Structure 1
Amino acid sequence: MRLAGIGRSSRDIAGTVVRSFRRSLELRIIAITVGLSALAVLGTSAYMAHTIGDGLFDARVQQVTEEAGRATTTAQDTFASSTAVDDAALSGLQQSVLADVGDIATSSSGLWFVRAPGTRANFALPDASRGSADQVVTESLQTQVESGEAPQYWQSVSMPGESAGTPGIVVGSLVTVPGVGPYEMYLLFDLSDVQQSLSFVTGTLAIGGILLILLIAAVTWAAVQFVISPIRVAAETSRKLAAGHLEERIPVRGDDVLATLAQSFNGMADSIERQISQLAGLSRVQQRFVSDVSHELRTPLTTIRLAGDVLYDRRDQFDATTARTAELLHTQVERFESLLADLLEISRYDAQAVDIDQEPVNLVRLAESAISGVETLAERKGSTITLIAPGGHFDAEVDARRIGRILRNLLSNAVEHGDGQPIEVVVDSNRSAVAVAVRDHGIGMSAADTERVFDRFWRADPSRQRTTGGTGLGLAISLEDATLHGGLLDVWSREHEGSTFRLTLPRRAGGTIDESPVPLEPDASPADGVPDGATRAQFVPEPSAPRKRRRS
């Protein structure tokens, strides 16, 4: 459990670091600059340390080989000039030579004088050793020395004893003792002083590199602050402008490029503020004009309506031409009233003066009521309307009047453009949302038409005759009603395959929609079956019989 907790903590810390790195431009610039600088300093320091170490080692090798060479020459000269012939004299001579070698090779820390192959055993001098040279001489070095191909050979070794681990050099050479034969002489030199010098240089480079990286980090931070601070101010000012605070501006300091940027930004903000103010003024004038005209037209329209109703009620007393004129007058007056009502509603939305009265409403019942309202039109068009409710909770906190208006608009359009084909109304819900989809199998729309279907006064086919007397504002108002509830109104359509309009609403007022419970893109053919446990209400046109509502 403790390991799991540590793992989660590590992941949380790593996630926090990654998010901070992604969100902070300042942190990214400093991190990248310091990282690249650290790599450069590390590479430079490593190269310098390697070069200095090689130089110190080569100089020390040259020194010890020269000392060893002088000591070997002295020993050979001493043996060659001696007249000693017995063992005692040779032993004394050996001690004298080794003492002379120690005086010459003052930096050596060990010596090994050993008989080489080919020496006469009856006159052999004893082996002599000082220090620990005999412990570090390798067989390969002995083989090279015994070959006699070069005056001397050297090899890097690790010092034994108390100095274990420190580097050293052992130098070997052949010394010929007259009357006896060849001997091998090895001198051991300690390189701890070179190692100390190299450690001092490496430590100095490391400390200097760390200080240099810290200095680069501080300089980078200062430079970033100088550049990022104006950018941060510009970003904050942009955010405030986007939030509607059009009076916000960036302070202008100095004459550099940042000051030029601030001046340009402020000029752009001034231009945007002027244009928005002009557009807002024009919008207010337009809204006021539409509202005033709509209100002013209501009085004469009421008078016209009353006169038209009188003529319409007495059309049986007129000749055929006058009776038809009365019917057309009655129809157009009704359409004019609907258009005025829609214009007033749109003007309320434009003026943001719309009130909403939300309460728990069952969308299945609301859909049934909307279907009943278009039942006569559906019978006249020859369309069958099927209500499919797969079960679940369908209550949602909505304004029943506005949602009912959306459903009536969608159903009217489906009947109008359904070409007498079946129409399905699907109501379903999930934990966060309730959705109603109206599907027809009529003429459908192209992709370009689908993009504009919610535009005001726009019609997909202006040449197509309408029988519902629409104003061209129904879908625009429906979209506003859906948005007012925090919902979505989507459309799918394909030419010659029909259309689907889907209304998705949050179950609770002010709630959010995680996912719509009804798919938007249905099959191209009408649904043949009903899911198990579903509610299905079907409205079938029967021209020769009274209208009936049958539930199955």
Structure 2
Amino acid sequence: MSWRGWRLWPQSFTALWRESLQFRTVLITIGLSSFAILVIGAYLSFSVQANLFQSRLDQVLGASNRADIAAQRVLESSDAADRAAVQGVFSSARGLIETTSSSQYIALIRVPDQEASSIAPQDLVSPGLSSVLTPELRAQVQADRDGQFWQSVSLANDSGGADPGVVVGTQIEIPEAGRYELYLGYSFADADQTLRFVQLTGSIGAIALLIMLAVITLFVVRWVIDPIRQAALTSRRLAGGDLEVRMPEKGADELATLARSFNGMADSLQARIAELAELSVMQQRFVSDVSHELRTPLTTIRLAGDVLDAQRESFPPDTARTVELLHTQTERFELLLSDLLEISRYDAGSVTLALESTNLVQLAGDAIESMHTLAEQRGSDVRLVAPGGHFDSELDPRRIRRIVRNLLGNAIEHGEGRPIVVTVDSDEAAVALAVRDYGFGMTPEDAERVFDRFWRADPSRKRTIGGTGLGLAISLEDAVAHGGRLEVWSAPSLGSCFRLTLPRHAGDEIPSSPIPLPPEDAAGTATAVLDLIDSTGSVTTLDDEPSTRKGARDA
């Protein structure tokens, strides 16, 4: 595996851990089982090791004690008085010790601090034993004539290695020669081999048990998880619109109950969705039919109103005022019918775009010019700033112009006569337009509902421009139809900023918007924002100078 593969392995494992319940369950089961087997195996291994060692130790201590007693009897029964006789008795005792103890490691060392004797035999130490006799063991043996002491050591074997073992030390008395330290070494190689065999057998058994547990767990988990996975797949297909899909029902256990309950829920959901769809179609048809049916009488009323409005100056003042109100409300009614028809088209999914290569700066300039009179009446100075919006984009000019007019109308309506800044900018992927006003602004709760149909932030506030309450809802639908986004930022006393972002080419993704939101001047307080506006009503934070309509311009 390459270095890159090793680096990606933790990410793959983490993703599999999060996404697969089956993998997570099997891994947790194996982990906990391994821990339990490890604890039990370690306990059994230590218990067997301790029992084997203690049993073997009892054997060697008994053999050493028997050899010591037998040798002491031989030595005590001897009447040797010269060097040769003492040496013969010493050799006999050594042979008896080897025979009785079954040990090939023997050491006979004269106890220090005794009077010198010319007939005392020389010290005898078997090869490999002298290096394992520690001063601590010898000190214990020398201090206690009747005691038996032992120590764990490593004894060299014939193959050049070392085996675990013990050395047992006692004292014996040789007539005419004095006291000697007797050390017998015993190899525990057989006990060590037995322990290794038990550990190997236990390890193989533990691995086999883990494999069996993994297979059994995998089988059980698959048996339980498969219905859950089927439920997840079925719910995903239901969410995708396939209302006919159902879970298979098998047996009478809890999983079968889950399948039946899920299918019952799907049936109820399908029936409810079908009912709502039918009601929605009826509602859309009703709105469309009513709107179309109202067209004829409205046209008649409009014609009659136009005739009366043309002769308004010849009427008495009260009648003239009534004719004026009739004309105004008829125009508003006509706009409302047009918006209702447009909404019904979006609800029915029958909207098609007439895409053209359009310059958004020129389109925004035309919209600002068309609303110039209204802005002057409200005392608002509208400025168009286009540092990078000179690129053509594929869009429906009529619908985008309607969005810009709606955004400008709202800014003029709620701008409180303060400056309004329209910014157009673009990059290689998207083009954006933002309308910034410095009016009262909205709370976050109001900003979340600003695109709802017929919703108003302040119902008690009088609408002076005469909108239908559907402008922002239609604008949002127009933006989505282009594959774009219409977003809003607003804060109380700081004003609002609506940002429209569209792809430069139809069907492309929008990675980011060329215009920031919140706007760059949104970090201050209400006083700081008001300080940005000079006595003439212009925004002093903008560095762009007014120029022609193709660049930045004042409306």
How far off is 1:205 after superposition?
0.8
Q: Report if the CA contact (8 A) 2:432-2:501 is conserved.
A: yes
TM (norm. structure 1) is 0.93
From the superposition, tell whether residues 432 and 530 of structure 1 become closer, same or farther in structure 2 (CA, over 3 Å). Answer: farther
Q: Report if the CA contact (8 A) 1:167-1:190 is conserved.
A: yes
Q: How does 1:111-510 map to 2 (within 5 A)?
A: 111-117=106-112, 118=114, 120-148=116-144, 150-162=146-158, 164-391=161-388, 394-510=391-507
Name which of structure 1's ranges 147-156 and 33-42 shifts more when overlaid on structure 2.
147-156
Q: Report if the CA contact (8 A) 1:389-1:535 is conserved.
A: no
Q: Report if the CA contact (8 A) 2:451-2:476 is conserved.
A: yes
How large is the Cα RMSD of the aligned pairs? 2.0
CA deviations over 1:388-432 (Å, ceiling 9, x no partner) = 222265433221111110010010111111121111111222343
From the superposition, tell whether residues 134 and 497 of structure 1 become closer, same or farther in structure 2 (CA, over 3 Å). Answer: closer
d(CA) in 2 for partners of 1:113, 1:446: 102
d(CA) in 2 for partners of 1:38, 1:254: 34
3-state SS of the aligned residue for 2:162? coil
2:100 paired residue number: 104
d(CA) in 2 for partners of 1:43, 1:455: 64
How far off is 1:105 after superposition?
0.8
d(CA) in 2 for partners of 1:474, 1:392: 25
3-state SS of the aligned residue for 2:424? strand
3-state SS of the aligned residue for 2:248? coil
1:545 paired residue number: none
The count of corresponding residues between Structure 1 and Structure 2 is 537
3-state SS of the aligned residue for 2:217? helix
1:46 paired residue number: 42
How far off is 1:131 after superposition?
4.8
d(CA) in 2 for partners of 1:157, 1:235: 65
3-state SS of the aligned residue for 1:123? coil
3-state SS of the aligned residue for 1:490? strand
Matched letter for residue 111 of structure 1: I
Name which of structure 1's ranges 306-315 and 367-376 shifts more when overlaid on structure 2.
306-315
How far off is 1:460 after superposition?
2.2
2:536 paired residue number: none
Name which of structure 1's ranges 395-404 and 161-170 shifts more when overlaid on structure 2.
161-170
How far off is 1:111 after superposition?
0.9
Q: Report if the CA contact (8 A) 1:387-1:537 is conserved.
A: no
Matched letter for residue 84 of structure 2: A
Q: Report if the CA contact (8 A) 2:83-2:118 is conserved.
A: no
Q: Report if the CA contact (8 A) 2:157-2:163 is conserved.
A: no
How far off is 1:139 after superposition?
2.1
d(CA) in 2 for partners of 1:36, 1:229: 23
2:86 paired residue number: 90
3-state SS of the aligned residue for 2:104? strand
Q: How does 1:17-96 map to 2 (within 5 A)?
A: 17-96=13-92
- Where does structure 1 lack aligned partners over 5 or more consecutive residues? 540-548
How far off is 1:150 after superposition?
4.6
How far off is 1:39 after superposition?
0.8
Name which of structure 1's ranges 224-233 and 452-461 shifts more when overlaid on structure 2.
452-461
d(CA) in 1 for partners of 2:389, 2:165: 89
CA deviations over 1:141-170 (Å, ceiling 9, x no partner) = 222211125522111111125352210111
3-state SS of the aligned residue for 1:457? coil
3-state SS of the aligned residue for 1:438? strand
d(CA) in 2 for partners of 1:437, 1:446: 19
How far off is 1:550 after superposition?
6.4
d(CA) in 2 for partners of 1:455, 1:411: 18
CA deviations over 1:420-459 (Å, ceiling 9, x no partner) = 1111111222343322111112232233322222111222
| Residue identity (%) | 52
Name which of structure 1's ranges 465-474 and 159-168 shifts more when overlaid on structure 2.
159-168
